[in-house]
Structure formats: structure tokens, C-alpha cells
């Protein structure tokens, strides 16, 4: 005879509703209460209340709410896998009511670091769209650890990211696309560009100008701080911190800011003569960029075709 379920489990089974799952998935995918509310057509307080109800039913914290957004806990990542599977089954059941002739459109969910958007992602997507215009693409950018968590939770199918610690990389497979080193870029005509004509600028020269640096917690930010530390220099105050490659490009192009960013983020602006790279030695800041996927799964043919387009777009990176 099967043992009765614990009282807490019975409460969860009897009281959990689809609205709890839709709300939780929306917040997990957008990583923001306000954006999730817009997607669901609800108010932000209503979303927050629904999440609180779900956490009370599960008896555990599923999301960490922060000023900048939300982040899944370990329990939340596990729960998200099941929530996505339940909602996918409901969608499949709804599709079945449309008859056998209804063929769902394939949709690939891709995650990418903001720094690879200019140099790799844009070219890869254009290649893929030209060859497979019928396939849907859902592209999300974010911090490396967040992308890894969403890949493991089945929110994403494929990620262009970086290696992380062994615990975070468990069950994932990493295919290197090439090294990505730190670069410092300025607009043409910047005083540092004039210095570079006669001699190699130093980091002290750079620190005399306002800096745009990678966001805290990112690997490029760590590399920026490590590069300065190797020369006995602290990170100055008053920096603009962002992982948005487009914003970094605009600030450097339209002001005297020095933009410290992965080379992949600055390459296109340099190729289009909007920015120039300062001839500084950044050896030791190289980090491999690569494709991350589930190690125990085979990609669909279309997802593999997208991976091929990413590899082709990243060849200049590998040639560095």
C-alpha cells in the first residue's frame, strides 16, 4: 500500500494553479518583476503576490528579488524545469485540438553575452536568417552565470558564453570559439590616440580620463581590475559600469571616455573607424568564448545549423 503524501505536499497539489506557474516562468525568463508583469498583462504587485503564494506552497525560496532584477535560487532552477515541462504539455494539448494538420513552428532559444553581440551574434543571426527564414529565434542577453542557470533550467537551448566554475558547468558541454581579451578603445582624435603616435600609452595615462568599464561580477570586470592591480593601480572612482556593448560604444564615440571591454565588443566599431584600440599590453586577460549546451542531449537539426552559423561568425575571434 502506497504511503500517504506528507501534508505539505498535499497542500501544494491541491492549491497550486496554472497562474502560479505562468507567473514564475515569466519572471524567471525576464529576470524582472516589471517586465514579467508587462508580459502577463498584470500589475507588478499582482506578480509579486502570486510568487509569494507559490513560494508559500512550495515551502522554499524560488527567486531572490533584487533592485536590478531577480535571480533563481537552486531550488528555483529545479522547479523551473518542471514548470516549463507542464506548460509545454499544456501547449501541446492545445495544439492537438487544432487537428493533425497544425504544425508548430520551430523556435530556437539562444542566450548570449552582451559583449559578443557586435562581433559574433549579429553576423551569426544574419547568416541563419538567410538560410532558414522559417525558423523562429528567441535571443536573450545576460550575465554569464545567469545564462548558464537558464540553460540548465531548459529556458535556453544554446548559449554563447564563457567557462565558469566546475559546479556551475556540471552537465554542460563547452566548445571553444576562440580567445577574447580585454581592449581599451577611444574615439579618433582622442588625446590618448595622439600620444600613441609617438609612444605607447601607459595605464596611468588612461586613468587620467573617465572610464567605461564592464559590470561588477562579470569576468571582463575581473580582468579589468586584475590588469590594473598588476601595475599597482586601483580602480578609480566615477566609472560608468555597463555590460551593454552598444552603450559603451556610444559613450566612447561621443566623449573622451576610455572604454574597457572585451575585444569582441569593440571589434565592429574599430572596423567601422568609429573607435581605435589603444596599443596597451593586456596579456593575461584572455578568456575563451564558446558554445554551451547540455552535455547529454543532441541539438535539433536547426539548432545545430545555428551553431554552425555561430562558429562561422566567430572565426575572426579564433584567428586572434
Residues 269 and 205 in one domain: yes
Residues 112 and 80 in one domain: no
For 277, the 3-state DSSP assignment is: strand
Cell of 56: 508559500
Residue 128 lies in a domain: yes
Residue 305 lies in a domain: yes
Answer whether 110's CB lies under 8 Å from 293's CB. no
Residues 209 and 266 in one domain: yes
Cell of 290: 564558446
Res 90 pLDDT > 50:
yes
CA distance 112 to 130: 20
pLDDT band at 319 (very low <50, low <70, confident <90, very high): low
Residue 101 lies in a domain: no
Strands 240-241 and 211-213, how do they pair?
parallel
Residue 102 lies in a domain: no
Each residue of 198-251: pLDDT tens digit?
A: 888 999 999 999 999 999 888 899 999 999 999 999 999 999 999 899 999 999
Residues 49 and 198 in one domain: no
Phi, psi dihedral angles at 47 (to 5 degrees): -65, -45
DSSP at 120: I
CA distance 96 to 73: 34
In angstroms, how far is the first alpha carbon of the chain from the final one? 66
The predicted pLDDT at position 95 comes to 72
Please identify which residue in the block is written with the cell numbers 530556437.
108
CA distance 167 to 164: 8
Residues 153 and 299 in one domain: yes
How many domains, the chain? 3
Residues 174 and 32 in one domain: no
Residue 282 lies in a domain: no
Residue 1 lies in a domain: no
Strands 69-72 and 63-66, how do they pair?
antiparallel
CA distance 74 to 76: 5
For 12-25, what is the mean pLDDT?
91
Residues 31 and 92 in one domain: yes
Which CATH number goes with the domain that contains 61? 1.10.10.10
Those residues whose C-beta lies under 8 Å from the C-beta of residue 152, and which sit 6 or more positions away, are 77, 171, 172, 294
For 187-196, what is the mean pLDDT?
91
Residues 162 and 291 in one domain: yes
Answer whether 243's CB lies under 8 Å from 214's CB. yes
Which of 45, 74, 96 finishes a domain?
96
Residues 166 and 244 in one domain: no
Which CATH number goes with the domain that contains 156? 3.40.190.10
Residue 16 lies in a domain: yes
Residue 162 lies in a domain: yes
Residues 296 and 169 in one domain: yes
The overall average pLDDT reported for the chain is 89
Range of the domain at 168: 107-179+287-318
Residues 160 and 205 in one domain: no
Which of 59, 76, 96 finishes a domain?
96
Res 87 pLDDT > 90:
no
Res 102 pLDDT > 70:
no
The predicted pLDDT at position 1 comes to 46
CA distance 239 to 259: 10
The predicted pLDDT at position 89 comes to 85
CA distance 160 to 30: 18
Residues 150 and 12 in one domain: no
Element (H, E) at 185: strand 182-186
Which of 70, 96, 122 finishes a domain?
96
Answer whether 290's CB lies under 8 Å from 162's CB. yes
110-122 burial, b if ≥16 CB within 10 A, otherwise e? bbbbbbbbbbbbe
The predicted pLDDT at position 103 comes to 58
Helices (H), the chain: 7-15, 18-30, 33-40, 44-58, 74-96, 122-131, 144-152, 191-198, 203-206, 219-230, 245-253, 263-271, 301-313, 315-318
The structure's pTM equals: 0.72
Res 316 pLDDT > 50:
yes
Amino acid at each position: 500500500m502506497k504511503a500517504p503524501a506528507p501534508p505539505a505536499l498535499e497542500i501544494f497539489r491541491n492549491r497550486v494553479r496554472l497562474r502560479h506557474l505562468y507567473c514564475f516562468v515569466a519572471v524567471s525568463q525576464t529576470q524582472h518583476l516589471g517586465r514579467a508583469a508587462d508580459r502577463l498583462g498584470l500589475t507588478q504587485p499582482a506578480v509579486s503576490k502570486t510568487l509569494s503564494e507559490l513560494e508559500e506552497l512550495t515551502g522554499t525560496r524560488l527567486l531572490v528579488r533584487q533592485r536590478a532584477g531577480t535571480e533563481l535560487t537552486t531550488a528555483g532552477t529545479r522547479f523551473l524545469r518542471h514548470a516549463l515541462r507542464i506548460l509545454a504539455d499544456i501547449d501541446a494539448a492545445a495544439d492537438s485540438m487544432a487537428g493533425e494538420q497544425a504544425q508548430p513552428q520551430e523556435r530556437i532559444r539562444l542566450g548570449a553575452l552582451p559583449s559578443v553581440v557586435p562581433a559574433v551574434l549579429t553576423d551569426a543571426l544574419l547568416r541563419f536568417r538567410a538560410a532558414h527564414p522559417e525558423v523562429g529565434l528567441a535571443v536573450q542577453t545576460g550575465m554569464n552565470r545567469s545564462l548558464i542557470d537558464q540553460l540548465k533550467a531548459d529556458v535556453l537551448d544554446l548559449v554563447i558564453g564563457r567557462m565558469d566554475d566546475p559546479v556551475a558547468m556540471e552537465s554542460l558541454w563547452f566548445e571553444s570559439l576562440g580567445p577574447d581579451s580585454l581592449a581599451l578603445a577611444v574615439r579618433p582624435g582622442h588625446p590618448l590616440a595622439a600620444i600613441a603616435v609617438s609612444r605607447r600609452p601607459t595605464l596611468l595615462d588612461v586613468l587620467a580620463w573617465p572610464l567605461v568599464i564592464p559590470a561588477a561580477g562579470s569576468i571582463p570586470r575581473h580582468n579589468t581590475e586584475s590588469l590594473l592591480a598588476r601595475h599597482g593601480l586601483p580602480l578609480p572612482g566615477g566609472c560608468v559600469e555597463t555590460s551593454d556593448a552598444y552603450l559603451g560604444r556610444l559613450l566612447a564615440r561621443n566623449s573622451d571616455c576610455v572604454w574597457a571591454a572585451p575585444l569582441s565588443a569593440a571589434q565592429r566599431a574599430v572596423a567601422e573607424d568609429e573607435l581605435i584600440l589603444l596599443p596597451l599590453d593586456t596579456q593575461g586577460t584572455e578568456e575563451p568564448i564558446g558554445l554551451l549546451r547540455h552535455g547529454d542531449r543532441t541539438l535539433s537539426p536547426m539548432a545545430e545549423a545555428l551553431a554552425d552559423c555561430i562558429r562561422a561568425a566567430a572565426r575572426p575571434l579564433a584567428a586572434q
